[in-house]
A and B are shown apart, each in its own frame.
Chain A
């Protein structure tokens, strides 16, 4: 679904976009990292953030999640400003640190995520683990899982939390062919549910349905 052109008078008012970034820019030590960027994510959108190493893909996701404050511009989630002080139930971030406790089992990690973020209606930890192909690994400490399996536990967390906007930083890293397919399937299902996702990747991994929108990031001169 492409963002509707807002200026056609006869149409009903366009739906409030899930995520709207206006003139978003970030600088570290006053060196511009990315931006200014303008883009909109509507429910059902999956956007691939493209850019070389150091083009600010990870930083962009951190800014969009509220972890970092942009130097200029604004972010609106469902039409409301995102601020550090008021984070939203709408965002789930999968960073390149998995966000998993190695001493806990997969199930315990997921239960913690549910406690802190809430639970999507109709979701439950055990089916979520099964759907990422980790049936039978529920009570294994995450420490003894492989890198790819850890990634799958982190993906299962996304299925459980009620966030409509997924921010995935290099979700394909450490995954085999079936894992890549799994990520694409999850993204597809999420988009069909009315969710949206921003995915960073330096490699080319086709999504199963059609071509995703692309958001190129280039170092600002």
Chain B
């Protein structure tokens, strides 16, 4: 077994996962908060107003990182779902299911801020273009995964059924995007590209990237926190979980 699989098995064992994430979570939340505040200061105070959209554009500092996170959460969920279905790793089931509500919230925030931004820019709260519609479908997919997970009684069976749905959904997202853009498009083009020159001024770019970093860290902190709870629920009968519940954790180590 190479180092990576060894590490994976070690980190994937429930007690280790519980202990390590317990140590990590406060730091992750603190880092996310700090980086997020710096990013917000840079975006809302330091960055200059846009010559066309004046101050209204500043909502992108929330909107764009959340939109990235919605997709990232879905991909993270799908990767874990795949691992859970193929190798039946319990931690992956839990991580996949924990990322669904977090991803759903990021997607919901994206839709809400998008609507708020759309009102002054396009004069309407909602428009049926490719990205908005795919985002909405993404939200439905998240809600479907959450709904299915909650509707099945056996927790592990529920996780695997919902994971399967998540995998079906990830095929769906690009197809929806393609079909809706075939159908209608009036959204403004993508402005940040990783390859090639960006069409955004660096004074606006760095706060955006900082905020993206902050939301990523926040995502992991939140997913880990949720996973810890479901792990304890799932492993309630096991020795290590009882030790934690009874507060005798250190007596066993």
Q: Which residues of B contact A (CB under 8 A)?
A: 154-156, 234-238
Given the complex of chains A and B, what is the CA–CA distance between A30 and B154 in angstroms? 10
Given the complex of chains A and B, what is the CA–CA distance between A146 and B60 in angstroms? 70
Given the complex of chains A and B, what is the CA–CA distance between A113 and B236 in angstroms? 43
Given the complex of chains A and B, what is the CA–CA distance between A30 and B155 in angstroms? 9
Q: Which residues of A contact B (CB under 8 A)?
A: 28-31
Given the complex of chains A and B, what is the CA–CA distance between A30 and B93 in angstroms? 14
State how many angstroms separate the Cβ of A82 from the closest Cβ of chain B: 17
Given the complex of chains A and B, what is the CA–CA distance between A166 and B238 in angstroms? 36
Given the complex of chains A and B, what is the CA–CA distance between A31 and B237 in angstroms? 7
Please list the 10 inter-chain residue pairs (A to B) with the smallest Cβ-Cβ separation, ordered nearest first: A29-B155, A29-B154, A30-B237, A31-B237, A30-B234, A28-B154, A30-B235, A29-B156, A30-B238, A29-B234
Q: Which residues of B contact A28 (CB under 8 A)?
A: 154
Pairs across A and B, CB under 8 Å, 12 listed: A28-B154, A29-B154, A29-B155, A29-B156, A29-B234, A30-B156, A30-B234, A30-B235, A30-B236, A30-B237, A30-B238, A31-B237
Given the complex of chains A and B, what is the CA–CA distance between A30 and B238 in angstroms? 9
Q: Which residues of B contact A31 (CB under 8 A)?
A: 237
Given the complex of chains A and B, what is the CA–CA distance between A30 and B234 in angstroms? 7
State how many angstroms separate the Cβ of A70 from the closest Cβ of chain B: 12
- CB nearest to B233 among chain A residues: A29
Q: Which residues of B contact A30 (CB under 8 A)?
A: 156, 234-238
- CB nearest to B238 among chain A residues: A30
State how many angstroms separate the Cβ of B22 from the closest Cβ of chain A: 21
State how many angstroms separate the Cβ of B154 from the closest Cβ of chain A: 6
State how many angstroms separate the Cβ of B240 from the closest Cβ of chain A: 12
State how many angstroms separate the Cβ of B235 from the closest Cβ of chain A: 6
Given the complex of chains A and B, what is the CA–CA distance between A30 and B237 in angstroms? 8
- CB nearest to B241 among chain A residues: A30
Q: A29-B155, A30-B234 are in contact. List 10 more A-B contacts (CB 8 A).
A: A28-B154, A29-B154, A29-B156, A29-B234, A30-B156, A30-B235, A30-B236, A30-B237, A30-B238, A31-B237
